[in-house]
Structure 1
Amino acid sequence: MTRVLVAEGDPQLVRAFKINFQARKFECQEAGTGADALRLAAARAPDVILLDLGLPDMDGIDAIKSIRRWSNVPILALSARRTSQEKVRALDAGADDYMPKPFSMDELLARLRAATRREAKSGAADRPVVVVTEGFTVDLAAKMVWREKRNVRLTPTEWHLLEILVSHPGHLVGQRRLLLEVWGPAFADNTTYLRAYMAKLRRKLEADPSHPRYLITEPGMGYRFEP
């Protein structure tokens, strides 16, 4: 199911989005402010973000720039200001598409589908097979890890966690996303599991586990693999 994060301050428009998205089997996540949008983008890992440039607490352009520091998730910008300059600012900040208000819901849905298709193709094409760092090497196809020319034995859970992180180099992966993908919905809020397994991975892969070089914690948000 496609997860759409809607960052929009107009409650009536949000309701319209929810009705249309749910009718088409999209999962709709709501953020009424820019701060909520940034938090949910990190925690819930949406497949696409629908972001109004007129958010009540911050400029939508700044929200786009902030998300682009750590994520390539498709962003479709919306704005009541129908100027070419506004469109250029949004696209230059990192938005993938732009629609002025008012708009056709059918066209909006078509653009969302197109954005998620592009991301799926790009992700499959860009995903590395072998990830090499100065400290260790990960072969995603063979499901093997080497450190100092020796094979590192990982449990299935440790491997799954590492696989997700190294498949998104330089990008923040939210705590909730990791918990859902590795442990499932019953453990979606159990950050204790996540901290314990990250500690195990660091002991096996980092030269100094207490000061990690590759498996970085973003406090309160998630983790990032820094190659």
Structure 2
Amino acid sequence: MKVIICDDDPNQRNSIGVCFTVSRSRYDLTEFELGADMLEYLSASHADLVCLDLGLPDMDGLEVLRQLRKTSGAPVIIASGNNSKESVIRSH
């Protein structure tokens, strides 16, 4: 299973990655700090699951999600420090 983690915080990327590595299943993890880098990578590859931070330094995470949806139907787990109701609704 190919899992993409996109978060600008290396500690968060590590924490999310650990969740997959402690499992008995084998996951192919790829990490990105920037949304644009992840989208470029996915233009030539695929993901089975994407873990996406909404607060990225280069792009709004919701814009990354919109662009991702144009080319991928992979499930997306949203991880963000912004827990406003509006952000949750907009990400749905």
Greater RCO (Cα-Cα under 8 Å, separation 6 or more): 2
Q: Secondary structure of 1:44's match?
A: coil
Contact 1:5–1:41 (CA<8 Å) still a contact in 2? no
Partner of 1:9: 8
Task: List runs of 5+ in structure 2 lacking aligned partners.
Answer: none
Supply the distance in 2 between the matched residues of 1:29 and 1:80 (Cα, whole angstroms).
21
Deviation of the 1:59 alpha carbon: 0.1
Name the residue aligned to 1:31.
32
Is 1:44 matched up with 2:45?
A: yes
Amino acid at match of 2:22: A
1:53 corresponding residue in structure 2: 54
Offset, 1:18: 2.2
Name the SS for the 1:19 alignment partner: helix
Residues 49 and 76 of structure 1 are in contact (CA less than 8 Å); yes or no, is this contact kept in structure 2?
Answer: yes
Kept in 2: contact 1:61–1:90 (CA 8 A): yes
In 1, Cα distance between equivalents of 2:71 and 2:18? 30
What SS does structure 2 have at the residue aligned with 1:50? strand
**1:42 Cα offset (Å):** 2.3
1:17 aligned partner, one-letter code? I
User: What CA distance in whole angstroms lies between the structure 1 residues aligned with 2:17 and 2:77?
Assistant: 16
| % identical aligned pairs | 29
What SS does the corresponding residue of 1:43 show, helix, strand or coil? Answer: coil
Question: 2-side partners of 1:36 and 1:6: how far apart?
Answer: 11
1:22 corresponds to which letter in structure 2? T
Deviations 1:124-149 (A, max 9, x none): xxxxxxxxxxxxxxxxxxxxxxxxxx
For these two proteins, the number of residue pairs brought into alignment is: 90
Q: For residues 40 and 19 of structure 2, what CA distance do their matches in structure 1 show?
A: 24
Deviation at 1:34, TM superposition (A): 0.6
TM-score (norm 2): 0.88
Q: What's 1:86 paired with?
A: 87
User: How far does the alpha carbon of each residue in 1:167-223 deviate from its partner, in whole angstroms, 9 at most, with x for none?
Assistant: xxxxxxxxxxxxxxxxxxxxxxxxxxxxxxxxxxxxxxxxxxxxxxxxxxxxxxxxx
Whole-angstrom CA distance in 2 between matches of 1:71 and 1:30: 17
Q: Secondary structure at the match of 1:58?
A: coil
**CA–CA separation in structure 2 for the residues paired with 1:44 and 1:68:** 14
1:44 CA drift (Å): 2.7
Conserved? CA contact 1:32–1:55, under 8 Å: yes
Instruction: Note the residue ranges of structure 1 that are not aligned, 5 or more in a row.
Output: 92-227
Q: Give, in whole Å, the separation in 1 of the partners of 2:45 and 2:17.
A: 17
SS of the counterpart of 2:44? Answer: helix
What amino acid does structure 2 have at the position aligned with 1:69? K
Partners of 1:8 and 1:76 lie apart in 2 by: 12
The alignment yields a C-alpha RMSD, in angstroms, of 1.2
